[in-house]
Structure 1
Amino acid sequence: MFANSSCTRGHWLKLQKIQSRINIRHNFFSNRVVNEWDGLPEKVVLASSVNGLKNPLTSNLSIVIGIFKMSVVKFLPINGLRSFCCQRNRFHTAAVVWSSKSVQNYQFKELDGVIDPYSSSIVRNDRYNSKAEQEVKETLVRVRHGGSKSAHERHTMKNNKLFARDRLKKLLDPGTEEDFLEIAPFAGLGMEYGDVPAAGIVSIIGRIHNKWCLVGNNDATVKGGTSFPITVEKQIRTQDIALQNCLPVIYGVDSGGAFLPLQASIFPDRKHGGRVFYNEAILSSLGIPQEHAQ
C-alpha cells in the first residue's frame, strides 16, 4: 500500500504503535458502509495521518483503514506490518482507503439503468461493435477453413485423409460434436512470416467417454502441417492448460516437422522445441494420460 511513499522508519514505528492499541468495530462506519462490508473480518486497524504520511493514491489522505483476515492477524507480528502492506497480494486480504468525508458524507448515486437507445453515443458504439463482431465472425470462418482450396483437395482426395477439424469431432462423444471449447483459434494471424491459421494446429477441450480431454491435431492443409514458432508456443500453452486442470491429452500428429526457413527459431528458448517433450514427461510423471495418434 505504501511501497512508493516517502515514509521514514519513524512513521512506520508510530503506525505500528497505533495498530497495537486500536481495535475498531464495524459500527465506526455508517450503516451504509457496514452493509457493503458484511462478512468481512472484524479486526480493523486505523491510522490517521502521521507526520505527513501520504498514500500515493491520494493527496488528502486522512484515514487509512486496513482490513485483515483474523487468521492472518493472529500470526502477523507487529514488525511485519510494513512488509505485509507492501506484499499484500500474498495474502487473501482486503485493503481499503477512506477519507473522513467519504465515510461520513458521501451518498452513492442510484443508477436507474435508463438509456436513450437513439442517442448519438449509443448509436455510434452499436455501429462500431456490430462491425467488430462481424469482422471476428468472418475471421473465425477463415481460420476454421484452414489452408487453401487446393491444399484441402490434396489432403482429402489425393491423400485420402480427414480434415483436422472433422477428425477431432469424430473423437468426441455423440451429441457433443459442437459442444467443445477451442483454444486460441486466432493464434498465428498477422505474424511477420505471414498468416498461419490457428497456428497450424487445432486444439480443443471436449468430452471423450464422458470425460473432459484436451485434444490437438495438426492441420496438414496449412503449410503441410509444418510447425512454426507460434505453433510450438500454442502447443506449450495447451500443455500448460492440461497440467493445471489434470486433463488427459490426445495428440493427433500429421506434421511435416519444423518449417525449414524458421527452424533456427523453433528449438532454442524455454518456450520452444524441446519444451514440448519436457512437458510430456511432467504430465506422465503426474499420471495424466497422454495418447499420440497418426
Structure 2
Amino acid sequence: MPFLGGSSALGGTIDEKRAEAARLQTQIDVQAERIAALDRQFDSARDKAGQADAAVSQARAQLTEADQRMAQIGVRLSSAAVEAYVQGSSVSFLEQLATTDGKDLSVRTQYFKTTASGQRDALDALKSAREDLSLKRSRLEQAQQSARSAASAVDGQLEAVAKAESNQRNSLARVNGELGQLLREEQARRSAEALRVAQAAAAARAGAAARAAVRVSTPSASASAGTAEVSPGHTPPGGLWTCIRQRESSGNYRSGGGGAYQFRPETWESLGGTGRAEDADPATQDAMAMRLQQRSGWSQWTTARGCGAG
C-alpha cells in the first residue's frame, strides 16, 4: 500500500475542506431563510394583485352598467321629445281649443316637461357617477399594475436566490466529496503506517526466533550447498523472511518443490513467474515472496506464525 504523505500537510488540507464545507452550509442556511421570507412576500403580493384584479373587474362592470343606463335614459328622452313635439305641433292650438276645454293639452304638455326634466336630472346624475367610476377605475388599474409589478419583482428575487442556493449546494456536494476522499487517504496512510510498525515489530521478533533456531539446528549438506548459491552482491531479506526460508527449505533456494519459499506452481505462475520456482535466482524468489505477502498476507506460509507473524 503506497504511503500517502505527512499527516500535518494532509491534515491541514482536511481542515481547510471542513472549514469550506461549514462556510457553504452557513450560506445555504441563510439563503434558505431568504427563500422562506421571499415566499411569504410573493404570496402577499400575489394576493394583493388578485384583489386589485377583482376590484378593476368590478369597476369595469359598474362602468358598463352606467353606460347602459345612460343609453336607456337617452333613448327615453329622445322618445319623449319626439312625442312632445308631435303632440304640440300636429294639432293647432285653435283646434285644441275648439275640441277641448284646454285642460288636456296643458296637462299633457306639463307631463312631458316634467318627465323630460326628471330624465335629464337622472342622466346628469349618471354622468357624474360615470365620471367618478371612470376615475376610480383608473386608480384601481394603477394599483393593479403596481401589485403585479411588485409580485413580478419578488418572483425575480426568489428565482435568483433559489439559483444561488442551488449553486451553493452543488459546491457543497463537491467539497464534501473532496473531503471524503482526503479522509479515506488519511485513513489509508494511518493504516499503512500501523502495518509498517507491526511488520517491523514482527520482523524483529522473527529475527530473534530465527537466530535462536539457527543456533539449535544443524544444517544439512544440501542446505549448505543451497545457501552458498546466493548471488554475489544480493542480500536476502532478513528478519521474518530469514525464519520462513529456514523453516520452509532450510534456506535452500534450489530446494525442490518451490525453492526457498516453497512456492506452489500455480502460485508462482499467478505472480508472473516462469518455469520452476527453484530454478529462479534468489533475488527473483525473494521479490516474488514479498509480492505474494503484499497480495495475500502471511497466511501463504504455514510456518510464518511460528516465526512471529501476526
Shorter chain as denominator, the TM-score bin is under 0.3
Q: Which has the larger radius of gyration?
A: 2
Greater fraction of residues in strand: 1
Q: How does the TM-score come out when normalised to structure 2?
A: 0.21
> Between Structure 1 and Structure 2, which shows a larger proportion of helix residues?
2
Q: Which has the higher contact order (CA 8 A, sep 6+)?
A: 2
